[in-house]
Chain A
Amino acid sequence: MLFKYLFAKNEDIPSGSATIFFGFSSILWFIVGTGLGSFNAAKLAFPDFVTGVEMFAFGHMRQVHVLAVILGWISMAFAMTMMYMTPALGNTKLWSEKLGLWTAFLWNVGLSLGLTLLWSGFTSGREYSDLIWPIDLVVIFGVLLPLGINVWMTIAQRRTQGIYITNWFFGACIFMLITTFLVGNSPELFNLTGLTEAYLTFWFAHNVLGLWITPVAAGIAYYVLPKLTGNPLYSHRIGHLHFWSIIAFYSTPASHHLLSAPLPEWLKSFASVEGVLILIPAVAFVANILLTMKGRWSMFVENVETKFTITGVLLAIPLNMQGGFQQTRAINWYIHGTGWIVAHAHLALLGMSSFLEVAAVYFGLQQMMRRKLYSLALANVHYWFFIIGFCTYWISMTIAGLIQGAGKIYEVPYIDVVIAEHPYMIARWVGGTMVFTGNMIWLYNMYMTAREGTLVPKGRYAHELAYER
């Protein structure tokens, strides 16, 4: 139905169309991403699972999973939230609903094409920036720039004098992501090789996480939680502290990812200190959100969006404790190149970030469709599948990483380490599959919400109405 608006006049397109398009797309990509993750985990747990077909080899599938999650689920969920939060915070309408719809459409087409090519073996061969350069250009100029223009113009046309903190993050992070894509992919665009290539590859990976995946998620929480609780955000000035410390400390060189590479040691020292300093935005964010909950903690149990949001915020604590310290020379020596890093990456993307986005997608879709969630019970099942599945994954991979680290340092034969890790690989697959299953329940719930959810009267919020099921 949304496709018919692609060629309609901007004025004829109902508000929220782009939000709904992005929202359902993001859930579908989450299912694709976690489905691929579950498949890949099964290959690690059961080495005889699907063998003999090159396309289904781990080396072909792994990066498709990673990018389906980053560019499909997480980034589309971000775009979805920007489509409804940015105008709402400026007391205005989205600058161009039509541009939003086209961005969602091109994003889906471009990502499908890019991932198919990647799956077929067309790759830059660089972790996280695996897409080939023509697809990188499509991402920059066909997706991120139109998204940015829509967000920046909506902010520029706001009917408020001030700009709420969420929009600081949205506006700045799109700009920083475009810069990251342009600079981070320059090895392929300009044929840079060797150490420069390695450094820029991890500069890209570092900044995609720190200037996009985690701060935008935090910006979302600054909107969702005050909205749900009815409380004001605890502190404007802590918001400043959070925002500017991200800009100052996260955007700096990413050489702590390459502590064993022959980069200048002073550059590693510099980046390593900055790496610990990311605890400053983390402390600011967590404190600001938890203090906003004052007097409304019962909502953590009663309201599903709050449950997801607070879980995401609480996961930011171990995320940043790990992230801050694991990149120091002393600890990195032990855990570098082990499953610990895989666990940490999932804590960032599947834990902290995804929980916050899920809450925003639940909230935003209900608001834009003007329909109350079809089933609270299913939403709670989704939550518990998600949190139990995620924790199973995270804890098992952390333990596996510590075993690998010990094996690496004490030169235990590789095959012995593989055998020792096997139970944790099975736990990883079980956890990941639970998340995947929960997401399918979520899609069903949102589909039914669109079809049969109770209509929300104008001027009311969905969460203010009692559930009917």
Chain B
Amino acid sequence: MAWKFDNPLYSLSDEEQNKRAITLWEAERHGDLWAANNRVPFPVTLLIALIVLTAFMMTMPIWGQRPTAELYAPMVQMMDSPQVKGMATNKEKIAYLTTEAMKAHEQAKDSRLPGLLERHPITWSDLQLMAPAIREIQSSGGTYGLESYTVVGDQVVLANFEGMRRPDGKRLRTQPWFDTGFIIDMFYVSYFIIVMVLVCKRLPHFSQKANPKKS
């Protein structure tokens, strides 16, 4: 079981170990079956690299932002205006408020807001139900602002993000673009790749083919 590190990309086992493995490979049949010592084809390796990259890119929270209370604040502000009250149907009211909120968000610093509002439309009845909570958060001047509250249906709740801290020591409740989960994943994937390289390179190099006819 000797290890050899002089040519790690070729094999991590010494020649004697490799020879023993090939001899066993040629002598042993598992119910008439055997597995050849072929390499992992290059396109497969490339595909795996692409999968790892895609896994991180595709799952970034940025692609699945949750609606925050901040999104609907302009709507709450305008919902009691005479203009909205004068509208005949709830459908008209919410359509008007959405358009106005969209305009407000387009001018805001946070460029994610218009897209988020488009993906998370709201009904008039839900807006009515959550409006008191949004007003209360705005008026209380508490630790967290509207951007730290998530809207789930008609509920406004403090967002469930963990792992990041603000300068005052409290937890940041806004969705980070890269959170603790991704850091754990990076370690996980790194360990996996290291272990797989060790496992594969301990085998005889793929150029050393077992010859089944010998057995």
Contacts and interface: CB of A to CB of B under 8 A. Distances in A.
Interface in B105-140: 119, 121, 123
B100 interface: no
Which of the four size classes fits the interface of chain A? Answer: 35 or more
Contact of A269 (B29, B59, B189, B195): B59
A199 to B, nearest CB: 13
A411 B59 CA distance: 26
A268 B181 contact: yes
A273 B30 contact: no
Question: Most chain-B CB neighbours within 10 Å: which of A91, A259, A269, A271?
Answer: A269
A324 B54 CA distance: 10
B60 to A, nearest CB: 8
B188 A248 contact: yes
Interface SS of A by simple majority: helix
Contacts of A239: 35
B171 to A, nearest CB: 11
Contact of A236 (B32, B37, B162, B184): B37
A276 B59 contact: yes
Interface in A20-40: none
Which of the four size classes fits the interface of chain B? Answer: 35 or more
A148 to B, nearest CB: 20
Given A277-B189, A411-B123, A269 B35 contact: no
Given A241-B196, A276-B51, A328-B64, A164 B181 contact: no
A183 interface: no
A284 B199 CA distance: 15
B203 interface: yes
A227 to B, nearest CB: 6
Interface string B55-66: 110110101100
Interface in B183-211: 184-185, 188-189, 192, 195-196, 199-200, 203, 206
B141 interface: no
Interface string A311-329: 0000000000000110011
11 contacts: A91-B29, A162-B28, A232-B34, A238-B40, A238-B44, A241-B40, A244-B196, A265-B162, A269-B182, A328-B63, A333-B64
Would you list the 6 A-B pairs with minimal beta carbon distance, nearest first? A329-B64, A269-B181, A270-B181, A276-B55, A88-B31, A330-B63
